Structure 1
Amino acid sequence: MKFSEVVGTENRFLLGCWSAAVFLVLILGFILGSDPVSILGVAESREFQVNFDSPVEIKHIYVLPSQIVRKGDLLAELGQSEWDSQLRVLKSRYDKLNAEMHLRQQLAGVVKDLGHLAPQADPLLVDLEDARKEMVLIEGRMKNLFVFAEVDGAVGAVNFKNGEKAPAFAPLITLVPLNPTYVNGYINENLSSTLKVGQVVEVNSAGGKVTRGSVVSIGSRIVQIPERLLRIQTLAAWGREVVIKIPRNNEFLLGEKVFVQKKWSLSLLSRAYADEVLSNSDPNQQDPREMDIPLNIVETFKPEMSGIVFIPELKQFALISDDYPEDHPVLFLMNEQGQIQPHQIQLPGMPTMADIESVSTQGDNLYLLSSLSTTKKGKLKDERHIFAQIKRHGLSYKIEHHVDLRTPLLQALRDSRDPALNSIYEADLQAGKEGFEIEGHAIDKNDLYLALKGPVLHRNEGLILKVTDFAPVFSGTLKPAQVTLAARFQMKLPHQDVESVLTDLIKQGDSFYVASSCRKSSCSAIWKLNVDTAQTELFHEFQVPHLEGLAIHPETHQIFAVFDSKGSSPYAVVSLGAEKGTP
């Protein structure tokens, strides 16, 4: 039997209307039957307190009360004389135990009897290992006596002055975020509610600002609702406390009263948004963006960043510029967000030094290297040929050694038995003002690696020189046998007929990550080079020129790259997990 014979042609429209009406009633019943939640609350933020579990000395406070700071800014530098004395005692104990162990091993009978014992069965070995672990623990603590801002915010209170000693767990500095990060609200006990942790809610202010948040906790006891949040302030009320997390980029004021409502939405979408609100991680940035340089620096001069290195104990990057006023270099500190610190690190005892192209670090030493090149007019200047070693301790930096590296290095190339190195020397003589130039360097144990920008023996060819046991260089000694050709490789970009030149390198295990920049074209690249095979792969390509420096963040496993764009200071971040050629 057909549908039209049962209903009739004239009743089809009426049946359609009734069906639509029933459907709408069901939907409205579902929505209206869902539990409406109306909560009054206050937009607040967690105050951050800086304290330590042992007494500390205040070396220097870098901020003032009410000062606005950014995440990663240096707040204070601390000291710990008690840890120094503990470390001296532990080292003395370790040396004595170690001497006793060596003495005992010289006794043939004892060695024979103990040779089969596990290390944990020998009391002397146990004491020796315990002393070593305690030394490592204290040394690690001593490297983390720098206080950095955990969030963007305002300094609330500075409770100690320079030179004072703070007891254990005493709050040194308080930091209040600029924007509220959560809402503290209450559900009246007379209202039934099925609000759950993870539920997405809408947060409104009296001024019309709106955002969405996610419920992170619901109280399990009844408490009195604050008078400010009562609808009738003379009539006391009680309810359950609710904490709602909101995004950091909201427009609410700290302490502002807000109104919270639970909105009907699909559960999958609600959960997805809740996960987004609760997540604090940002996607890896790969496109270059501008550094945030404070006015006190740019009012003096515009830095042209040419090198970058990560300083572990500061948890910051140290950057150097090509040129400085009167050729007196300083170090700039940058956090992971590309924000340059107002505080600049002075380098006492440093001679005038120009055209600084690279920086590296090893242990407590920092190394700076000029380009070793001539000026644009082809003149030789001593300040462009300096290789400097700087001793660093926290924020204190002192020049240890410096030497004119150009002359002995070129002489070593001239006198080398390697024809390829002789060719570099001869090409320099012929190239004139576009001759010998070092754009980057890296240090691995006792060896120094140099990234040669010029002279170019073959188009798109990269050359890395190696100086074995480089320490005697600072005393003016460099033998031809110490200089070798560490790598010779191609840097040809696919799908582009451009010339690339080497501009920096970093050594990571058995690989180099090298930077290249295109001549007369807007492109740069990072290459991964295998030391043993000299095979390169294109790691990352940029559509901007003048890539100048690379550094690896050991905790986030990202490469930070800096560019010199003549008037701007871009930087980029690339994950070490990025695939070859990721745009």
Structure 2
Amino acid sequence: MRRQNKGNVVLYGVWFIILTATIAITRFYSVESSNFYGIAETREIVVNFEGAVEIKKIDVTEGQSVEQGMLMVELSSPDLMLKINHISHQLDQLKAQKGVDKSEIQSRLRQLKAQKAAKENELKNQIAQLENQYKINKSLLSGLKSIPGGSGYGNDEGRSPMEMKIRSLKEELRLCINPLAIQIELFQKTLANSKDPVKIQVERLEKELSLLRDENSKLKIYAQISGIIGSVNFKPGAKVSPFAPILTLHTRTPSFIKGYIYENAYADISMGEKITVASLAIANRNITGVVVGIGARIVAYPERLRKHPDLQMWGREVVIQIPANNHFILGEKVLITSSLKKARFTDQLKRLFTPSQSIADVLQTCKNFLFQEKILPIIPLETEGIEASALLYLEDIDRYMVLSDDTLGNAPLVMLMDSNGRITRETPIAGLDRIDDMESVAEGEQGILYISSSLGTGRKGKIKAARKHLISVQRQENHFSLLGMVDLYSLFMTHAETAAGKPWADFILGGILKKTLDMEGMMYREGTLFLGFKAPLMNQKSVVLKINEIDQVIKTKKLKPGQISIWQTVRLQRGEDQLQEGISDLLYFEGALYLTGTPLIKKEGSRSGSLWKLEESAGTPICLTHFNDLQPEGVAVGKEKNTLIICFDQGRKIKSKICVVKVK
């Protein structure tokens, strides 16, 4: 009996130890969910050049402090100078040829005019003399009664030799002058027509020369921000391949913290949450930051942040933006404390013994979701001030073209971005002064792009002229130039009034009348442009219009009857209890239509949206993924196979973001 009691005591003791260990581990994870570690990092600018260059001069060294606008590197590009010299020589030849050709034609034209005038004067003088002589003779003979009928100067004038001579000279004048007049007219037409081809060619070369000179001016690289030189990878005289990092520049103090939270505790962090960041080296040195990015997958901890370097740990990345005036050192290890309340003990136990899903808080499956798409990490764009509204992958230069719906002074700027969210170049659309609220882009044929404003009214209920544009743009690598432009808003209104009663016309007129017209999505297929409208709705569905022969529309600025119609109407709503969404972009990919949608009614301070898919054989779109706290504005084919890339507009104060979605 004593032996049995002794065995029970040992058993109870073992269970007590296990329970104590469980509680301790649970409490440990609870602490880990509100306190975790991170590393202070900074915004880094990589200085490179898109062409092969030679380092002419480097004015900075590693660790040097530089001010904004300071000259850092001077490059030289023999290929660029060769192109500039070649085009300059072509221009000189064309201008000289244009002058010679024009002078020759003008000289010949003057000769013909002089010849015509001389011949005309000579024959007219002869005719005038004969006509005067004829009148005198006729007057003298009319008084002689002995000569009946004036001997040919009476009624039968056709028999007069002098009259015959006058008629002969007039006929000779006509036969001589007409060929000369025809030659003069031909030379005049030649002179007029000869100006246009040469003029167009000269203008094209001058524009190309201007772009090359702009590129040449960029061979002197100045500091974009005040900061510290991180690394210098080349010496003067070295030859550098395109896009190779020449040097790096970063801010003097860290701009964000990258932390890692344990995988079984990741649900305690949310976007926009205020976080306390404290130094581990110096007591009472802390600062408040804001969560701006949450990783969408579970990754391995950096070795430096592991409690035991040999023991592998897994967690989720959290990016925290901190004020610029902080006292942290770059690369410093810091303690991050969440402001959220700890979970209840029962929830902690449940979380401990229940495997977590490795999917971000910002993603939420829809009720009619058929299969889970793989979401890669959500990356914030490194450049501030961009409200990403549309994007497009440009395979030949391996860059994403990004549009912002708000630019300084409504400048027609195109941003080129790499896969890491870094803007490597900002370039204007040559030939276009301004455009407002760029919301959509589509790629046509032979390097032609189509960009459109939203056509929406502003806050004061008026639509700006710069918000009415649909433009076609010719792209050559990373250069963009205007091909054509049409006032799409006025074109819609004029044509819809004449076609009133047709579904598309009533839809447009209703949107214009109620000032709700908002076009945010666009795609191109076989000469047809498809326009996706966020608002208004038509029978509680979003509308996609199509315009055939879009190039002809932009060129003539006119719509033919039947050239525009409704292509699709779709209802984007995840459930009856969910907010209905309107189209923010659309994409045709691998036989299916992909759409991004954002709520028609926005809650104060909140942003959200979804990715949808519509098969050609189906009539109802399915929701692939929903984004909490993120507003999807653009979708495009990704760089990798079977991937889409989505950009999120988070407003002016928070950086735009991107993520890649792998689709089946």
> Normalization by structure 2: what TM-score?
0.45
Q: Deviations over 1:367-424 (max 9, x none)?
A: 2110112222221321101111222222222222122111223334444487321330
Aligned position for 2:624? 539
Aligned position for 2:431? 349
Q: 2:538 aligns with which of 446, 452, 457?
A: 457
Write the letter of the residue equivalent to 2:431: G
Structure-1 separation of matches of 2:549 and 2:390? 23
Write the letter of the residue equivalent to 1:356: M
Aligned position for 1:191? none
For the Cα contact (< 8 Å) 1:356–1:371, is it kept in 2?
A: yes
Q: Which moved more, 1:475-484 or 1:445-454?
A: 475-484
Note closer, same or farther for the CA distance 1:154–1:512 as it changes in structure 2 (3 Å cut): farther
Say whether 1:392 aligns with 2:475. yes
Q: 2:562 aligns with which of 481, 487, 499?
A: 481
Structure-1 separation of matches of 2:433 and 2:412? 9
Write the letter of the residue equivalent to 1:444: R
Say whether 1:438 aligns with 2:516. no
Note closer, same or farther for the CA distance 1:474–1:541 as it changes in structure 2 (3 Å cut): same
Q: Alignment partner of 1:520: what SS?
A: coil
Say whether 1:378 aligns with 2:461. yes
Structure-1 separation of matches of 2:575 and 2:61? 53
Structure-2 separation of matches of 1:485 and 1:504? 16
Aligned position for 1:324? 407
Structure-1 separation of matches of 2:644 and 2:443? 16
For the Cα contact (< 8 Å) 1:488–1:534, is it kept in 2?
A: no
Structure-1 separation of matches of 2:402 and 2:56? 22
Q: 2:547 aligns with which of 467, 473, 476?
A: 467
Write the letter of the residue equivalent to 1:535: T
Structure-2 separation of matches of 1:77 and 1:526? 45
Note closer, same or farther for the CA distance 1:440–1:60 as it changes in structure 2 (3 Å cut): farther
Q: Alignment partner of 1:380: what SS?
A: coil
Structure-2 separation of matches of 1:489 and 1:528? 11
Aligned position for 1:274? none
Distance apart, 1:346 and its partner CA = 2.2
Note closer, same or farther for the CA distance 1:474–1:528 as it changes in structure 2 (3 Å cut): same
For the Cα contact (< 8 Å) 1:526–1:538, is it kept in 2?
A: yes
Q: Deviations over 1:122-151 (max 9, x none)?
A: xxxxxxxxxxxxxxxxxxxxxxxxxxxxxx
Structure-2 separation of matches of 1:171 and 1:430? 52
Q: 1:505 aligns with which of 586, 602, 619?
A: 586
Q: Deviations over 1:224-263 (max 9, x none)?
A: xxxxxxxxxxxxxxxxxxxxxxxxxx99xxxxxxxxxxxx
Distance apart, 1:335 and its partner CA = 1.7
Distance apart, 1:545 and its partner CA = 4.8
Q: Alignment partner of 1:157: what SS?
A: coil
Write the letter of the residue equivalent to 1:488: T
For the Cα contact (< 8 Å) 1:552–1:560, is it kept in 2?
A: yes
Write the letter of the residue equivalent to 1:350: L
Write the letter of the residue equivalent to 1:437: D
Gaps of 5+ in 2: 4-47, 64-74, 84-229, 250-301, 313-330, 333-372
Note closer, same or farther for the CA distance 1:510–1:577 as it changes in structure 2 (3 Å cut): closer
Write the letter of the residue equivalent to 1:328: A
Write the letter of the residue equivalent to 1:483: I
Higher helix share goes to which structure? 2
Aligned position for 2:447? 364
Q: Alignment partner of 2:434: what SS?
A: coil
Structure-2 separation of matches of 1:527 and 1:357? 19
Structure-2 separation of matches of 1:556 and 1:62? 41
Q: Which moved more, 1:566-575 or 1:478-487?
A: 566-575
Q: Deviations over 1:143-189 (max 9, x none)?
A: xxxxxxxxxx945116669xxxx7xx9999577999xxxxxxxxxxx
Q: 2:571 aligns with which of 475, 485, 490?
A: 490
Structure-2 separation of matches of 1:61 and 1:556? 40
Write the letter of the residue equivalent to 2:554: F
Note closer, same or farther for the CA distance 1:420–1:323 as it changes in structure 2 (3 Å cut): same
Distance apart, 1:452 and its partner CA = 1.0
Note closer, same or farther for the CA distance 1:485–1:170 as it changes in structure 2 (3 Å cut): closer
Note closer, same or farther for the CA distance 1:429–1:364 as it changes in structure 2 (3 Å cut): closer
For the Cα contact (< 8 Å) 1:413–1:483, is it kept in 2?
A: no
Structure-1 separation of matches of 2:456 and 2:641? 35
Q: Alignment partner of 2:654: what SS?
A: coil
Note closer, same or farther for the CA distance 1:506–1:158 as it changes in structure 2 (3 Å cut): farther
Note closer, same or farther for the CA distance 1:417–1:173 as it changes in structure 2 (3 Å cut): closer
For the Cα contact (< 8 Å) 1:160–1:172, is it kept in 2?
A: no
For the Cα contact (< 8 Å) 2:57–2:236, is it kept in 1?
A: no
For the Cα contact (< 8 Å) 2:644–2:663, is it kept in 1?
A: no
Distance apart, 1:447 and its partner CA = 1.0
Say whether 1:557 aligns with 2:642. yes
Note closer, same or farther for the CA distance 1:175–1:473 as it changes in structure 2 (3 Å cut): same
Write the letter of the residue equivalent to 1:348: A
Distance apart, 1:448 and its partner CA = 0.4
Q: Deviations over 1:202-238 (max 9, x none)?
A: x999xx9996699xxxxxxxxxxxxxxxxxxxxxxxx
Q: Alignment partner of 1:427: what SS?
A: helix
Aligned position for 2:507? 424
Structure-2 separation of matches of 1:398 and 1:61? 31
For the Cα contact (< 8 Å) 1:318–1:333, is it kept in 2?
A: yes
Structure with larger RCO (C-alpha < 8 A, sep 6+): 2
Aligned position for 1:571? 657
Q: Alignment partner of 1:481: what SS?
A: coil
Note closer, same or farther for the CA distance 1:473–1:333 as it changes in structure 2 (3 Å cut): same
Distance apart, 1:525 and its partner CA = 0.5
Q: Alignment partner of 2:421: what SS?
A: coil
For the Cα contact (< 8 Å) 2:440–2:522, is it kept in 1?
A: yes
Structure-2 separation of matches of 1:62 and 1:409? 56
Structure-2 separation of matches of 1:59 and 1:418? 65
Structure-1 separation of matches of 2:59 and 2:485? 38
Q: Alignment partner of 2:430: what SS?
A: coil
Matches within 5 A, 1:523-534: 523-534=608-619
Structure-1 separation of matches of 2:473 and 2:616? 28
Distance apart, 1:76 and its partner CA = 11
Aligned residues: 346
For the Cα contact (< 8 Å) 1:560–1:571, is it kept in 2?
A: no
Distance apart, 1:576 and its partner CA = 3.1
* Percent of pairs with identical residues: 19
Distance apart, 1:574 and its partner CA = 3.8
Say whether 1:290 aligns with 2:364. no
Note closer, same or farther for the CA distance 1:374–1:447 as it changes in structure 2 (3 Å cut): same
Greater Rg over alpha carbons, structure:
2
Structure-2 separation of matches of 1:467 and 1:479? 10
Aligned position for 2:233? 156
Write the letter of the residue equivalent to 1:423: D
Q: Alignment partner of 2:492: what SS?
A: helix
Alpha-carbon RMSD across the aligned residues, in angstroms, is 4.5
For the Cα contact (< 8 Å) 1:288–1:570, is it kept in 2?
A: no
For the Cα contact (< 8 Å) 2:386–2:656, is it kept in 1?
A: no
> Normalization by structure 1: what TM-score?
0.51
Write the letter of the residue equivalent to 1:505: L
Structure-1 separation of matches of 2:655 and 2:387? 7
For the Cα contact (< 8 Å) 2:52–2:241, is it kept in 1?
A: no
